[in-house]
Amino acid sequence: MQLSEFIANDTVKNEISEAMRSGTLPHAIIIDGAKGTGKTTLAEIIARYCVCLSENSRPCGQCPGCIKAMHNSHPDIYKADGNNTGELNVDSIRKIRSDVYIKPNEADTKVYLLLNCDKMLAPAQNAFLKVLEEPPANVVFVMTVTSANMMLQTVRSRSRIYSLYPVTAEQAAQAAAKRFPDKSYEEVQKIAAMCDGNIGQTIQILESGGEEAKKLADEIFAALPQKNEYLLLTLTSRLSANRAFASSVLDCMLENASECIKAAAGLSTNAAFAEEIARRMTKKRIYRLAENTEKAKEILNTNVNLNFFGTWLCSVLRG
Ligand SMILES: [Zn+2]
**Tens-place pLDDT, residues 171-207:** 989 988 988 888 889 888 888 887 777 787 788 778 7
pLDDT reported for residue 203: 84
pLDDT reported for residue 274: 92
| Ligand 1 center to 56 CA (angstroms) | 9
Nearest by Cα to 32 from 109, 111, 120, 92: 120
| Ligand 1 center to 65 CA (angstroms) | 6
Residue 137, phi then psi, degrees to nearest 5: -70, 155
| Ligand 1 center to 108 CA (angstroms) | 12
pLDDT reported for residue 209: 63
Residue 302's pLDDT band, with cuts at 50, 70 and 90, is confident
| Ligand 1 center to 46 CA (angstroms) | 11
**Tens-place pLDDT, residues 222-264:** 999 988 889 999 999 999 888 888 988 998 898 889 889 989 9
| Ligand 1 center to 274 CA (angstroms) | 55
Higher-confidence residue of 34 and 277: namely 277
| Ligand 1 center to 110 CA (angstroms) | 15
| Ligand 1 center to 180 CA (angstroms) | 25
Per-residue pLDDT, averaged over 15-31, amounts to: 95
Higher-confidence residue of 64 and 2: namely 64
Q: Is the pLDDT reported for residue 34 higher than 70?
A: yes
Higher-confidence residue of 214 and 53: namely 53
Count Cα atoms within 13 angstroms, Cβ side, for 185.
5
Per-residue pLDDT, averaged over 128-137, amounts to: 91
Instruction: For residue 161, count other CB atoms closer than 10 A to its CB.
Output: 18
Note the CATH architecture for domain 3-163. Answer: 3-Layer(aba) Sandwich (3.40)
| Ligand 1 center to 213 CA (angstroms) | 39
Residue 306's pLDDT band, with cuts at 50, 70 and 90, is confident
| Ligand 1 center to 66 CA (angstroms) | 4
The domain locations on the chain are 3-163, 169-318
| Ligand 1 center to 23 CA (angstroms) | 15
Residues 6+ apart with CB under 8 A from 204: 36
| Ligand 1 center to 140 CA (angstroms) | 17
| Ligand 1 center to 235 CA (angstroms) | 46
Residue 59's pLDDT band, with cuts at 50, 70 and 90, is very high
Please count the residues of the chain: 319
Per-residue pLDDT, averaged over 39-53, amounts to: 96
| Ligand 1 center to 51 CA (angstroms) | 7
Higher-confidence residue of 270 and 144: namely 144
Mean pLDDT, rounded, of the chain:
90
Q: Is the pLDDT reported for residue 161 higher than 90?
A: yes
Q: Is the pLDDT reported for residue 211 higher than 80?
A: no
| Ligand 1 center to 72 CA (angstroms) | 14
